[in-house]
């Protein structure tokens, strides 16, 4: 908490006051191709801008193509040599996720870094087009499926280039506030006991569990790919559209805990690019430093159960 408030750097040399540009200063990402989901707004846009500034080829996956094109033009306005492409992606639709992955693979591009950034927060109860609670479907299941579809491409790229691949899941400190026992496997769509806050926490817990389990699996097979999760910090973005008034009141009383957008993108940029993290996998980062998440987030049995549950949900959706 002291470091968060003061911005004093941690062991990495960076802290809560660091920006995405600062944590990637001097890094040349010319050889890298990056996919960023939700890269057209908020910290996703800032992450896209910084990585493009470091010469990475950035692919933005976005639901709103008009907004994504505006984001692309905004980046190009300040950096006319930036390599930015946009592809349609609705993470609440497994069909859209599959179409996005197929489209990307058809481009015959390498894939070095996947940043699972997009998400929704505190929305009223609703189901995705696949019949799954919306926050779980968007924040976790869509990214789980996307990652599995792109994993062979990442392995192929890492092997052919000898460059370590990296997967970054954006989680949140909110993962500590979830339902009893973490994931409601048998009641994932239960409307009667739905809590918008706990459903969000559940999806963010799932992001960490997914990263941890995938990290173990990739390490076991010797793949040159790391997987980590991050908490970007408290940032006022359009994620708060369902609770804008209450969040502004909260921000008024807790202003010293909040970050601006460049600071919010820092941990993602650090974990995605910094050479200090070569070979580091299955970890959780806050303010560009490794941090211990909740007990549930480090539960290996829970991670394995979530892995199997997620695959079953995808299989069931594809047979209906």
Q: Given this model, what pLDDT does residue 258 score?
A: 62
pLDDT for 253:
38
Amino acid 252: pLDDT: 39
Who contacts 288 (Cβ-Cβ below 8 Å, separation ≥6)?
A: 10, 12, 14, 15, 18, 23, 266, 267, 270, 271
User: Residue 43 contacts by C-beta under 8 Å, 6 or more apart in sequence?
Assistant: 117, 232, 235, 237, 261, 264, 265, 268
Encode burial over 241-250: b for 16+ CB neighbours within 10 A, e otherwise. eebeeebeeb
pLDDT at 236: 53
What architecture (CATH level 2) is domain 2-315? 3-Layer(aba) Sandwich (3.40)
Task: Write down the pLDDT at residue 259.
Answer: 87
**Integer Cα distance of 49 and 40 in angstroms:** 10
CB atoms within 10 A of CB 310: 22
What is the domain partition of the chain in residue ranges?
A: 2-315
Residue 95 is predicted with a pLDDT of 98
3-state helix, strand, coil in the chain (%, to 5): 50, 15, 35
Question: Are the C-beta atoms of 232 and 45 separated by less than 8 Å?
Answer: no
The pLDDT assigned to 234 comes to: 77
The CA distance from 257 to 199, in Å, is: 23
Low-confidence ranges of the chain (pLDDT < 70): 1-7, 236-258, 320
Q: What are phi and psi of 188, to 5 degrees?
A: -60, -30
Q: Is 194 a catalytic residue?
A: yes
* Cross-strand bridge partners of residue 60: 36, 86
Give bridge partners of residue 132 from the DSSP assignment.
none
Other Cβ atoms closer than 10 A to 30: 9
Catalytic residue among 125, 177, 194, 242: 194
| Cα–Cα distance for residue pair 46/286, rounded to 1 Å | 18
Contact 203, 135 (CB under 8 A): yes
Q: What is the DSSP secondary structure assignment for residue 127, as one 8-state letter? A: B
CA neighbor of 58 nearest in space, from 74, 240, 305: 74
- Give φ, ψ of 59 to 5 degrees: -110, 115
Q: Kindly state the tokens that stand for 285.
A: 């980062």
What is the Cα Rg of the chain in Å?
A: 18
Alpha-carbon gap, residue 162 to 157, rounded angstroms: 8
**pLDDT the model gives residue 8:** 82
Per-residue confidence (pLDDT) for residue 5, from 0 to 100? 55
Q: Would you state the pLDDT for residue 240?
A: 44
Q: What is the pLDDT of residue 247?
A: 45
């Amino acid at each position: 908490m002291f470091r968060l408030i003061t911005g004093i750097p941690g062991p990495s040399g960076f802290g809560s006051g660091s920006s995405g540009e600062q944590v990637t200063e001097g890094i040349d990402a010319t050889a890298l191709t990056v996919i960023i989901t939700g890269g057209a707004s908020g910290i996703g846009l800032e992450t896209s801008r910084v990585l493009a500034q470091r010469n990475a080829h950035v692919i933005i996956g976005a639901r709103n193509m008009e907004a994504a094109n505006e984001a692309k033009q905004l980046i190009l306005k300040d950096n006319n040599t930036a390599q930015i492409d946009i592809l349609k992606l609705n993470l609440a639709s497994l069909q859209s996720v599959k179409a996005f992955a197929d489209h990307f693979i058809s481009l015959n591009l390498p894939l070095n870094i996947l940043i699972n950034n997009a998400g929704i927060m505190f929305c009223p109860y609703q189901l995705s087009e696949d019949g799954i609670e919306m926050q779980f479907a968007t924040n976790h299941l869509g990214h789980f499926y996307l990652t599995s579809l792109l994993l062979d491409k990442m392995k192929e790229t890492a092997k052919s280039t000898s460059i370590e691949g990296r997967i970054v899941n954006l989680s949140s400190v909110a993962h500590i506030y979830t339902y009893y026992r973490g994931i409601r496997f048998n009641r994932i769509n239960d409307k009667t006991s739905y809590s918008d806050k706990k459903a969000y926490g559940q999806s963010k817990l799932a992001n960490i569990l997914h990263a941890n389990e995938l990290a173990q699996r990739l390490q076991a097979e010797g793949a040159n790919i790391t997987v980590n999760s991050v908490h970007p910090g408290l940032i006022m973005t359009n994620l708060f559209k369902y609770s804008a008034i209450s969040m502004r009141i909260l921000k008024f009383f807790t202003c010293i805990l909040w970050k601006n957008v460049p600071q919010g993108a820092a941990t993602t940029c650090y974990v995605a690019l910094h050479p200090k993290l070569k070979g580091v996998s299955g970890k959780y980062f806050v303010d560009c430093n490794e941090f211990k998440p909740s007990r549930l987030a480090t539960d290996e049995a829970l991670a394995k159960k979530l892995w199997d549950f997620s695959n079953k949900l995808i299989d069931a959706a594809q047979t209906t």
